[in-house]
Amino acid sequence: MTDLAGLSSVLGAWYDFRDLNNLQRLITEWIADWGPDWLASIITGVLGALGILGVIGPTLLILIWVERKVIARFQQRYGPNRVGPKGLLQPVADAVKLILKEQLAPRAADKLIFFLPPVLIFIPGVLIWGVLPFGPRMSVADLNVGVLFLLAVSGTAVLVIFMAGWSSNNKYALFGAMRAVAMSISYEVPMVLALLTLVVFSGTMSINGIVQWQQQEDVIFILLFPLSAIAFFFAASAELNRTPADISEAESEIVAGYHTEYSGMRFGLFYAVELGNTLVVSAFIATFFLGGWWLWGLDQWVPSWIILLAKTGAVYFLLIWTRGTLPRLRVDQLMGFCWKALVPATLLFVVVAFVERTLLISEGWDTTVALPIMAVFNIALSLGAVMLFARVARPAPLRRPARIRMAGSDIGGLRAAREVAARREAPQLQVGGD
């Protein structure tokens, strides 16, 4: 166990960039010396917000570049490489272009509701950063109901998306909005259940508490509850509208979904928040399942927020990877996957977590011995559940393999078709099937 007292003595000075909380605390104390205390709370709040915006803004610009560059490499292209060194300024140029573009509104749009969403969508997008712990004491608000706060705030975004889609008076937009709403309320269930597993097992609803639990027990949650982690990853990528679950803005079907009618910087805001959400979700996945700012003692030497950013980057890369590789699922398939696969799986692990927690607490098992055993058991259980699902829930058309045969000398119509189909020899190509 880390010596927290020793750590805080090291982290005492304002210039210690390992814990930027010191700086803020000094400012607060300085204001409290001369000003009224409400001023201190307002100024610290503003500082926190500025800090978040200062982090998100530049990160977003870099992220756009990273994402385009990585996707380009997947696709054997160079990606942006003209504006600035290595194309780094491309996002800036894009942003300037978007700002300068004319912002159109459909004549039949519900004007007020149409103008609000690009602004409103920023509120959950920024608020959600507030509870992200960058270090032991580095979060704007370390709520003891942080997990709930996270879910509540992310749930409100869907309302804004609905406003955008509905007010556009465009059928593509309405389709996108309804799909987004349906997706969101469905995928929130496995998301909540996956987090509930952690809350039950660690016994705290504070996000920092969950990280500290992982630090205390020297284990990261993805080892203990791998299926919950995977379910959370899927659910998060579905809530983020990223391929393979980007049905609410499925380009090949409904053009751009709920933001079809938004042009110029209004579209840019949606786009920015979407990217920002991707980043923050990566950060939360890293926090909940990969240990957050903690990495087996390395956080003593490297600033904790750099560890978190590194883990976030890894998860973010995973999100880009799935996006660049996979086609999109259909609406009903996504819904079916959520309700038939993710919800039972996460529910199972809530029960498992409850039982294991009870064993640990009431039976007083030694964690150093019990946790590895539980991890092995849970991993085996996850694999079994996945295999069972793959066997039971496969859709009917996928159970038969697709076959390609060679016609050879049989050229003709139905008669020749029957002859080719009746051939005994193995087909030229056979894919899929059970």
Partner 1 sequence: MSDFGFHLAFWSLAAMTIGGASMIMVSRNLIHAVIWLVLSMLGIAGLYLTLSAEFIAVVQVLIYVGAISVLMLFAIMLTPRAERDNSQNIKTSAPAGLVVIMVMIATMWVAIDTDWGAVREAALTEQARLIGESLIKHYILPFEIGAVLLTAALVGAIALARQDDEDAAVHAASLQAELKGDGSVDPVDVVDPPLPSDGEVGS
Partner 2 sequence: MTAQYDATAAMEIVNASAPGAACIDEGVLYLEPDTLAESIRTLRDSEESDLVFLSNLTAVDHELHFELVYHLQSLDLNHILQVKARIFDREDPALPSLTRVYHGAHLQEREVYDLFGIRFDGHPDLRRMFLWEGFPGYPLRKDFLQMPGQVRAGLPGFPHESEENAWPVPGSVPQRPLHPNDPQPEGEVVVADESEDAS
Partner 3 sequence: MTMSDDTRLAMQGTIEALTAGDGSEPVVVNLGPQHPSTHGVFRLKVTLDGEIVQDAEMRIGYLHRSMEKLAEERSYTQNIPFTDRIDYLAAMSNNLAYCLAAEELLGVEVPPRAQAIRVMFAELQRVASHAMANGTFINDCGAWHTPLFHMFRDRERVLDMFEMTCGARLTTNYMRIGGVAFDLPDELLPTLEQFLADMPENIANYEALLLENEILHARARGVGVISPEMAINSSLSGPVLRGTGVPWDLRKANPYCGYESYEFDVPVGEQGDCFDRFLVRMAEVKESLRILRQVVDTLPDGPYLADVPLHARPEPGESYARVESPRGELGFYLVSDGGPAPYRFHCRPPSLINLSALKEMSIGGTLADAIVTLGSIDIVVGEIDR
Give contact residues for partner 3 (rule: CB under 8 A): 71, 74-77, 171-172, 175, 243-244, 246-247, 250-255, 323-333, 395-398, 400, 402-408, 410-414, 416-417, 420-421, 428-429, 431-432
> Residues 95, 105, 143, 379: which binds partner 1 (CB under 8 A)?
143
Decide whether 152 or 407 has the Cβ nearer to partner 3: 407
> Residues 4, 152, 387, 402: which binds partner 1 (CB under 8 A)?
152
* 42 forms part of the interface with partner 1 (CB under 8 A): yes
Supply the minimum distance, in Å, between the C-beta of residue 32 and partner 1: 12
> Residues 162, 258, 271, 289: which binds partner 1 (CB under 8 A)?
162
* 194 forms part of the interface with partner 1 (CB under 8 A): no
Distances (CA, A) of 417 to 362, 410, 412, 431: 69, 8, 7, 20
Distances (CA, A) of 280 to 307, 330, 433: 15, 26, 38
Nearest to residue 219, comparing CAs of 372, 2, 382? 372
* Total of residues contacting partner 1 (CB under 8 A): 29
Binding region for partner 2 (CB under 8 A): 411-416
3-state secondary structure of 15: coil
Q: Which does 352 bind (CB under 5 to 8 A by kind): partner 2, partner 1, partner 3, none?
A: none
Q: Which does 396 bind (CB under 5 to 8 A by kind): partner 2, partner 1, partner 3, none?
A: partner 3
Residues 6+ apart with CB under 8 A from 249: 176, 241, 256, 257, 258, 259
State the angle between helix axes of 146-167 and 264-289 in degrees (0 to 180), rounded to the nearest 10.
Answer: 160
Q: What is the rounded CA–CA span in Å between residue 125 and residue 153?
A: 8
Supply the minimum distance, in Å, between the C-beta of residue 236 and partner 1: 16
Dihedral of CA atoms 115, 116, 119, 121 in degrees, nearest 10, equals -120
Decide whether 186 or 212 has the Cβ nearer to partner 3: 186
Q: What is the rounded CA–CA span in Å between residue 372 and residue 434?
A: 34
Decide whether 148 or 306 has the Cβ nearer to partner 1: 148
